[in-house]
Amino acid sequence: MWGGRFSASPNALMQAINVSISFDKRLAAQDIAGSQAHAAMLAKTGVISSGDAAEIQRGLSEIAAEMEAGTFPFRDEFEDIHMNVEARLRELIGPVAGRLHTARSRNDQVALDFRLWVREACDRSAAQLEALQGALIAKAEAHADTLMPGFTHLQPAQPVTFGHHLMAYVEMFGRDASRFRDARARMNECPLGAAALAGSPFPIDREMTARALGFDRPTANSLDSVSARDFALEGLSAASIAATHLSRLAEEIVIWMTPQFGFIKLSDAFTTGSSIMPQKKNPDAAELIRAKVGRILGSLTSLTVVMKGLPLAYSKDMQEDKVPTFEAFDALELSLLAMTGMVADLEPNVERMAAAAGAGFSTATDLADWLVRELDLPFRDAHHVTGAAVKRAEQLGVDLSDLPLAELQALNQGIGEDVFKVLTPAASSASRVSYGGTAPDQVRSQIKRWKDTLR
């Protein structure tokens, strides 16, 4: 490829460190699509003849068929996907293949291929997140009234519903999907035609190739076109945040599966056993999802470190952009699919959740709110009275709802029998009617909103 300048072959170690076909062959479809668009543009602008363009297109179609059939001869000697395709094209159609590289460089070629791949990965991730949201919504709708404890600091706080809890993740994953869509919109500019770094002296039509490849426009600066990888960094950032949300849900599944909680059951489809302890049923899928965030966040860190000190324009360091990006999106895709399956599979233990919903004096805030509403106490005073009531209930070994009325009236004479109506978990949950609250009607309202949005 550069024999005119060099008189000797590279050292074997140079060849080993330089070759990238083992991983960048994943860009094959994108490389061929870019070449097809480029050849069509070169013919339209008269840079190459229509006959040569037709031969090039025929050869590229044959290469695409070989790749589809798994018979394409990938060879290390040609270093990367671009030169493998070009070398094979020459074998198929002869010297006219050399005209394809007119008015482009491997620099804008790889920038194009990688941008196309990341764009497709963002589209897949957004779609997979929406599928996960659908699974969560279906489960939430079935359990909009199912009581469970809400936690802060992993301590019982206030009763909520299982549907409300699941819908919190619908919101998170909705933001994740929007981040991928936002990233896609920003990266949807075509670098092809920037050539090595300075543009091309040929009368190319960059608008034409941009349109042909589904971009909104061509990139506006040739130096930036070949040296930017922030589109990948942004995709990896969105992936890292999504993986963090997956990890949080996975952690809850692990906790809920323990006998100490016993909130949910998973079938054999998403659990494994032990080689020595026959009683074990382990939520390994959730644990592995929880771990994937390390790989994905590591990929973001890896590419950030690669890019942080590079001068404009292209440097060979940027060959290290693909492996971490491929690995991160592979891990995210597997995690999203597995989590979607687990959510559909899991079944809550309704009775166990309901019993736990009232534990830990979880309706204490309802007592404080009642004192404010019914007796017009300032909230801080009501908070003090309620704290004293909890302390007394703890001393007597009873729940707040079982504390004798006389004990409550010893703290405030105005407390009447009707206070007990607000001290059950069901009453507590049903009372949270503010927008976005855990009241079942509010939960169903949010489910409808999301169904409409995703539809």
Distance CA 383, CA 365 (A): 8
Compute the radius of gyration of the chain from its Cα atoms: 30
Among 122, 131, 242, residue whose Cα is nearest residue 182: 122
Q: Which of 7, 153, 275, 434 is catalytic?
A: 153
- Strands 155-161 vs 189-190: parallel, antiparallel or unpaired: unpaired
Distance CA 262, CA 257 (A): 6
82 is annotated as an active-site residue: no
Asked if residue 364 lies in contact with residue 390, where contact means CB atoms within 8 angstroms, the answer is: yes
Asked if residue 392 lies in contact with residue 406, where contact means CB atoms within 8 angstroms, the answer is: no
Residues sharing a CB contact under 8 Å with residue 180, sequence separation 6 or more, in sequence order: 122, 123, 125, 126, 129, 235, 238, 242
Distance CA 312, CA 226 (A): 9
3-state secondary structure string, 154-222? Answer: CEEEEEEEHHHHHHHHHHHHHHHHHHHHHHHHHHCEECCCCCCCCCCCCCCCHHHHHHHCCCCEECCCH
Separation in Å, CA 177 to CA 21, 82, 205, 288: 31, 32, 34, 22
Distance CA 357, CA 380 (A): 25
Distance CA 453, CA 215 (A): 26
Cα end-to-end span (Å), the chain: 51
Separation in Å, CA 239 to CA 28, 44, 188, 254, 314: 23, 39, 18, 22, 25
Distance CA 401, CA 235 (A): 51
Among 228, 233, 251, 213, residue whose Cα is nearest residue 296: 233
What letter represents residue 102's amino acid?
T
165 is annotated as an active-site residue: no
Distance CA 289, CA 246 (A): 7
Q: Crossing angle for the helix pair 28-44 and 81-93, nearest 10 degrees?
A: 60
Distance CA 48, CA 192 (A): 17
Angle at 194 between CA 190 and CA 199, to 5 degrees: 145
Q: Which of 22, 50, 274, 315 is catalytic?
A: 274
Residues marked active site are found at 153, 274
